[in-house]
Amino acid sequence: MFSLTGKAAVVTGGSAGIGRAIAFRFREAGARVLVADRRPSADDFDFISIDVSREDDVAAMFDAAQRRFGRVDILVNNAGIQPLGVGLGGVTGALLDRTFSVNVQGVAFGLKYAASRLADGGRAINIASFVGVLAAAGTAVYGPSKAAVIQLTRIGALELAPRRITVNAVSPGTIRTPAVTDVPDNPEIPFICRRTPLGRLGEPEEVAALCQFLASDDAAFITGQNIGIDGGLTAGWMDYDLEPPSNVKDGRWFDET
């Protein structure tokens, strides 16, 4: 199901975390995979070292994939940095510049070259975040960068539609990756587990499974969407401690006199 046999995929930021899980999932589904990352991959994937904030590097990534595979069918714009915990008081030009250069320029450059280098009927998948949809204190830099990714997804879907290339975003909640679990006594973990309706963190493999579906022929009529994979976190509050008013009794409303 959701076979990627015969497809060629490029996954940015594929050396670790969600990107690594996507690369493995795609390969298991039959795709040839090029991992593009600043850090070498410890796995046996085809690999190219790039910085997605540099347009020339992104162009070189597509060139490398086409030399190795003869075509590119799938692009996953996953590479990003995560300056969480920075509120408005901590915003600096340097931090904004670096975050947007990686998280936003990287996606914009990826889509720019996808428009001319992806095969007709190809797939572009952008990894956004739940904080690109749900505002939270301490996300004054990271959140806006991921909101921009979601908007770029919509623009890309419109512009690439004539070639039947679909463009979708995936917005994970808090996922069990080293960026989360390697933080000693990370307060985010119990907070998210308490607030998430399903009561747990997500797993990288779950995000990868959604990406596999979006990359497959079965998802040919889905484009321009931002799909949350967050255990219900962005659906609403789990706890809202309110008592019904005194004029609500036995499931009925009584007008006050």
**How far is residue 174's CA from residue 193's CA, in Å, rounded to a whole number?**
9
User: What are the residue numbers of the active site?
Assistant: 142
